[in-house]
Structure 1
Amino acid sequence: MCPLPDADASSPDFDCLVFIGRFQPPHLGHLAVIHEALKRARQVIVLVGSAWQARSLRNPWRFDERRRMLRNAFDADDNARLEIVPLLDALYNNDVWVRDVQRKVRDIASPSQARLPRIGLIGASRGQSSYYLSLFPQWESVSVPMVEGISASQIRERLFRSAIAAADYASAGASHDLPPGVVKSIKGFLESEAFEELVEEQGLLDQYRQAWAQAPYPPVFVTACAVVVQSGHVLLVKRTAAPGKGLYALPGGFISPQERLLDACLRELRERVRLKVPEPVLKGSLRGQRLFDEPHRSWRGRTLAEAFYFALRPEQQLPQLKPVKGGDHARWVPLADLEPDALFEDHFFIIQNFLGLPADFSGP
């Protein structure tokens, strides 16, 4: 980390400072970093991570909502020097994510007097959540003192525990954590259907945790899922219940105690989507297998997913899918129609891992 020199408005220390975060929601700690960046640089790039993610308890607000909240926290002069840009996650490939950050900064950073711009990364170091500060050795790093007592995860917990608790927090405690414009935006969000769905998910999560409260150790769950591709289509199911109601997901589920992982995957294809492909053909089409273990990948807690990639031989007709009464709806989805914010949890990134889908998604 480079030390913060005395600020001089007439001669900024950097041409460009970059601040990366999820801003779920933007709070006073985030604003302290951006204000410091505006003192130190001619231009500030705010990269908003987890863009185009489906709404969840961890990511309640979409990119455009977070950008609006950030813009509302600054005056016109500051906004003229701020670039707020979406950044897609790449959960299982740091190199892809780093390349995306490098390209966005390269394309935005303005040269100064016909020389390469002096670029730095700025942030309030908080362990694992700020690991990116060490991933860009070509840029200087600037550390800003943390604003103590403010946590985005705690803010989200207060908001989604119940509608009554959220209203109380928005009316009384939120002003200690959030700028006025963000408080106003959140009060409006409390009237939305999306808020009601997230409160429902929080209730389900609380029940889930209560069921395991007496376990001697924190539970770790293991699931198996299938990435089945044929003729430019991937097999997905549309969830009919919370969490993730209305989102697409890979077919899969929990393994049984006496079951091998591949057998669990094949069982889910047979029972959940009734895929009309013989099991020997599926086994002969297996092209890859990987464990996906990002710690925050699932709402239910620590959940490992073993995914199997089946590449079926191209055919004029896609294999039939027989509906299961009362179950999720299965369908073949063209690869061109895959959008991160339409898929459950990290399933887009699982598909991306096997198929090499572009990482520079730019939104609809």
Structure 2
Amino acid sequence: MSRLSEYDLIENPEESQAESAIGLDETDAKHYRYLVFIGRFQPFHSGHKAVIDEALKRADDVIILIGSANLPRSLRNPFSVAERTAMIKGAYSKDEAARIHCVALDDALYNDTRWLKYVQAGVRSVTGDLQSHIGLIGHSKDNSSYYLSLFPHWASISVPSYHNLSATPIRESYLMGATPTPERTPESTRKILNDFKKTAEYQQLHEEAGFIDKYKKQWESAPYPPTFMTADALVVQSGHILLVERRSMPGRGLWALPGGFLNPKETLFDACIRELREETRLKVPEPVLRGSRHSQHTFDDPYRSARGRTITQAFYFQLKNDPKGLPKVKGGDDAAQAFWLPLAELDSKMMFEDHYAIIMKMVGL
């Protein structure tokens, strides 16, 4: 997306638009058939609950679009849609919960239009059409005002912040081992978090959280927060894409585009070629690779990497179809393995960081 992203438009509704409370700052006192609340709820906290409390007063039914669905567990998205739904509905009585409709919402990073389509489809799955008396509820005094402006055909209800609650510090401290407090999280959330803490998945995220914490501390003495530059290779031949399995944290075991950090004395394109050859041992002559460059694009969402501000330049290579088959590859360097995957088998739940969104943007799937 140009401005919308899984981390901006979905993250910020959780931590700004969704950090809302009872008490409207608009005079509109209409009652709605449906009110829509969009967020990531990673995790669901008392500020989120305050928004839903108000929505239940103002509407017959409340539609909760739970963002960042169908992604692998990560430090930014540790909880599944089912777990977040249980946090939300578990905070209410049976009758109130029956009026709350939780719908999974996929991200469409770097593609505003696709994301809007997902939102419309999610709402319509509950309402049956988009002509019902629908409103959006949230906070519009920050970057989320852009989010609210995307839906001019729906009424907008703005609510103020609730004790400046944010999911980020709750989530980060929890993944480092802390226990969420009743002052910030409903009992239903604390139950899910306590149960999840006993799983192997939590232990993996806990280990990764410690790794990232140590990684960031290396830069604490820098005069400004560092910005990292990387290059990634998107190689396609005969309906297949070349991917690697990550060997190390963060994202160990996830699929990724071959790529890595820029060396001080190389161009972005040279870095891309170097990383591609190091990580995949792709059996294609370098001149052929260089001549197969189709396009390139910068991906700079501020929250795309847990390691800090990381901008990547992705290069799209289209290799000519070959009756002999796909070129041989072998994992090397930071890659546990390299492999060709049919484009039809791409799985967002297996992809590292925003690499799925990069592929969707550049290949046009």
Counterpart for residue 101 of structure 1: 119
Segment of structure 1 superposing worse, 77-86 or 317-326: 317-326
> Is contact 1:223-1:303 (8 Å) kept?
yes
In the alignment, does 2:295 pair up with 1:288?
yes
> Is contact 1:17-1:43 (8 Å) kept?
yes
Could you say what secondary structure the match of 2:220 adopts? coil
1:75-94: CA deviations, max 9, x gaps? 22222222111111111111
Counterpart for residue 101 of structure 2: 83
> Is contact 1:49-1:88 (8 Å) kept?
yes
Quote the offset at 1:282 in angstroms: 1.6
Could you say what secondary structure the match of 1:127 adopts? coil
| Counterpart among 308, 323, 339 of residue 331 in structure 1 | 339
Could you say what secondary structure the match of 1:68 adopts? helix
Q: Which amino acid aligns with 1:294?
A: D
Quote the offset at 1:110 in angstroms: 5.0
- Aligned equivalents of 1:125, 1:146: Cα separation in 2: 10
Within-5 A mapping of 1:341-356: 341-356=349-364
Structure 2, unpaired ranges of 5+: 1-23
Number of aligned residue pairs: give it. 341
Within-5 A mapping of 1:242-321: 242-316=249-323, 317-321=325-329
Quick one: percent identity of the two aligned structures? 50
CA RMSD across the alignment: 2.0
1:160-187: CA deviations, max 9, x gaps? 22x3xx2xx34xxx11111111111111
Quote the offset at 1:116 in angstroms: 3.6
1:294-335: CA deviations, max 9, x gaps? 000001100000000111122341110134377421111111
- Aligned equivalents of 1:116, 1:208: Cα separation in 2: 50
Counterpart for residue 204 of structure 1: 211
Counterpart for residue 159 of structure 1: 174
Could you say what secondary structure the match of 1:176 adopts? coil
Structure 1, unpaired ranges of 5+: 7-11, 358-364
In the alignment, does 2:69 pair up with 1:51?
yes
- Aligned equivalents of 2:141, 2:252: Cα separation in 1: 33
Counterpart for residue 160 of structure 2: 145
* TM-score, structure 2 as length reference: 0.88
Could you say what secondary structure the match of 1:198 adopts? helix
Could you say what secondary structure the match of 2:349 adopts? helix
Counterpart for residue 236 of structure 1: 243
> Is contact 2:279-2:333 (8 Å) kept?
no
Segment of structure 1 superposing worse, 53-62 or 293-302: 53-62
Quote the offset at 1:127 in angstroms: 2.4
In the alignment, does 2:165 pair up with 1:182?
no
| Counterpart among 221, 224, 227 of residue 217 in structure 1 | 224
- Aligned equivalents of 1:55, 1:194: Cα separation in 2: 8
